Chain A
Amino acid sequence: MKAVVDLSFSVGSGEVYGLLGPNGAGKTTTLRVLATLLAPDSGAATVAGHDLVKDSEGLRAAIGVVNGGMGLYDRLTGREILHYFGGLYGMRPAAVEKRIEALDDLLQLGDTLSRRAGGFSTGMKQKIVIARAVLHDPPVIYFDEATSGLDVVARRAVIDFVKAYPSAGRAVIYSTHVMSEVEELCGRACIIYRGRKIADGTIAELSAQGEGKGLEEAFFRLVSRYDLANGAAA
Chain B
Amino acid sequence: MRPGIVARLARKEIVSTLRDTRAIISNLLIPLLLVPVMMLGLPLLLGGLLEREQVTTTAVGAVGLTNMPADLQAAFTAANLDLRSVTDATKAVQDGTVEVAIVVPDGFGSAIAAGGNAAIELVTKVGNMKSELSASKVQQAVSSYQRGVVGQRLEAAGLNAAVLTPVTITTVDASSQAERTSGQLSWLIPFFIAIWTLTGGQMTAVDATAGEKERGTLEVLLVAPVRRAEVVAGKFIATMLFGLSAASMAIIGFLVGSLVMQNVFVPRLGEQAEAIVGVMGGGLSVSFVAILLLLVSALLLAGFVSALLLGVGMFARSFKEAQSYIAPLSFVFVLPAVALQFKDLIGLSDAVYYVPVFNVLVLMDNVVRGTFTGDEVLITWAVMAVACLLLLRFALANFKRESVIFRN
Contact = CB atoms under 8 A, between A and B. Distances in A.
Interface of A: 32, 35-39, 57-58, 60-61, 63, 65, 67, 69-76, 80, 84-85, 87-90, 116, 129, 132-133
A85 B217 contact: no
A72 B224 contact: no
Interface in B180-234: 215-217, 219-227
Contacts of A74: 215
A88 B226 contact: yes
Given A39-B402, A75-B16, A76-B15, A85 B219 contact: no
Given A35-B223, A88-B224, A89-B225, A73 B402 contact: no
Given A73-B16, A75-B15, A76-B12, A60 B220 contact: no
A35, A37, A67, A129: most-surrounded residue (chain B CB, <10 A): A37
B5 interface: yes
A58 B227 CA distance: 11
Given A37-B405, A67-B219, A85-B220, 5 more contacts: A35-B223, A60-B225, A65-B220, A87-B8, A116-B19
14 contacts: A35-B223, A37-B402, A57-B227, A60-B225, A65-B220, A67-B219, A69-B216, A69-B219, A70-B220, A75-B15, A75-B16, A76-B16, A87-B4, A88-B224
Contacts of B402: 37-39
B224 A70 contact: no
B interface: dominant SS: helix
Interface string B344-372: 00000000000000000000000000000
Given A37-B405, A72-B215, A84-B8, A89 B15 contact: no
B19 A70 contact: no
Interface in B1-32: 4-5, 8-9, 12, 15-16, 19-20
Contact of A85 (B215, B224, B405): B224
B223 to A, nearest CB: 5
Contacts of B226: 88
Interface in B225-256: 225-227
A58 B225 contact: yes
Contacts of A89: 224-225
Given A72-B215, A73-B217, A63 B223 contact: yes
Contacts of B5: 87-88
A74 B207 CA distance: 11
A72 B19 CA distance: 15
B223 A65 contact: yes
Nearest to A116: B19
9 closest cross-chain pairs (CB), A and B: A71-B216, A71-B215, A61-B225, A75-B19, A88-B224, A60-B225, A87-B8, A69-B216, A75-B16
Nearest to B9: A88
Nearest to B222: A37
B399 to A, nearest CB: 12
| Centre residue among A38, A75, A76, A116 by max chain B CB count within 10 A | A75
Contacts of B9: 88
A38 B8 CA distance: 25
A73 B225 contact: no
A69 B225 CA distance: 20
B192 to A, nearest CB: 28
A57 B219 contact: no
Contacts of B12: 73, 76, 84
Contact of B224 (A60, A67, A76, A116): A60
Contacts of A116: 19
A29 to B, nearest CB: 10
